[in-house]
C-alpha cells in the first residue's frame, strides 16, 4: 500500500503535462483531434492486446508522453498521445496524426523495444523505456539508461505511472497469452 501511495504522490508531483508544450492550434482550432479519456483507453487497450503488452504499461507511456492529450505536438514535431514522429509512423505505414494509428505506431515500436531489450539486458524494462525516450542508439551506447536528466526522469515517471495503474512484471507475462 505504501508503494502505491508513493507512486501516486510521484505522479502528482511530476505530472507529464509539465513537459508537454501548449497544444498547437491553428486559428483557435486544434490541429489534431481531441479524444475523451474513454476513447483513449479503448485505443490503448486494443493496441496493447494486439502487440501483447500490458495496457497499464502503454497507458503509463501515454501519461508520460502527452498527459492523455491526443492533440499534443512537441517542439520537435512528435505528435499525439504517444508523441510519435510522423516519419516513424510513416515507415510503419501509419499516420501519427490519426489517434488510432498514433497509438498503434507507438505501441508497435514499444513492443519491438521490449523484445530487443528482453534478449539483451537484465534491466530490459528500464532500457526499453529509456530507448522510447532517447532512442535505442543512446541506450546501447551507454549500455543502459543514458545519463541525461530528461531520460532518467522519464524512466522514473513511466515506472511510477505503471505502478500507480496496477502494473507489475507479471503483467508482461500475462499479456503474452
Closest by alpha carbon to 10, among 65, 83, 64, 62?
64
Query: CA-CA distance, 158 to 14, in Å (whole number)?
Result: 11
Question: 101, 107 in Cβ contact below 8 A?
Answer: no
Taking Cα atoms as reference points, which of 7, 66, 44 lies closest to residue 175? 44
Catalytic residue among 29, 39, 65, 91: 65
Cell numbers that stand for 150 in this block: 530528461
Instruction: For residue 147, count other CB atoms closer than 10 A to its CB.
Output: 9
Q: 112: closest CA among 93, 97, 127?
A: 127
65 flagged as catalytic: yes
Residues annotated as part of the active site? 65
Amino acid at each position: 500500500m505504501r508503494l502505491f501511495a508513493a507512486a501516486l504522490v510521484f505522479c502528482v508531483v511530476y505530472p507529464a503535462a509539465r513537459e508537454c508544450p501548449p497544444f498547437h492550434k491553428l486559428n483557435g482550432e486544434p490541429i489534431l483531434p481531441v479524444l475523451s479519456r474513454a476513447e483513449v483507453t479503448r485505443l490503448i487497450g486494443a493496441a496493447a492486446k494486439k502487440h501483447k503488452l500490458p495496457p497499464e504499461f502503454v497507458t503509463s507511456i501515454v501519461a508520460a508522453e502527452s498527459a492523455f492529450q491526443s492533440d499534443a505536438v512537441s517542439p520537435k514535431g512528435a505528435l499525439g498521445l504517444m508523441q510519435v514522429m510522423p516519419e516513424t509512423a510513416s515507415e510503419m505505414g501509419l499516420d501519427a496524426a490519426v489517434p488510432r494509428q498514433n497509438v498503434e505506431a507507438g505501441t508497435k515500436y514499444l513492443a519491438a523495444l521490449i523484445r530487443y531489450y528482453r534478449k539483451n539486458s537484465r534491466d530490459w524494462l528500464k532500457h526499453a523505456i529509456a530507448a522510447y525516450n532517447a532512442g535505442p542508439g543512446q541506450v546501447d551506447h551507454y549500455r543502459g539508461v543514458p545519463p541525461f536528466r530528461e531520460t532518467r526522469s522519464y524512466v522514473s515517471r513511466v515506472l511510477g505511472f505503471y505502478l500507480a495503474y496496477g502494473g507489475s512484471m507479471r503483467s508482461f507475462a500475462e499479456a503474452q497469452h
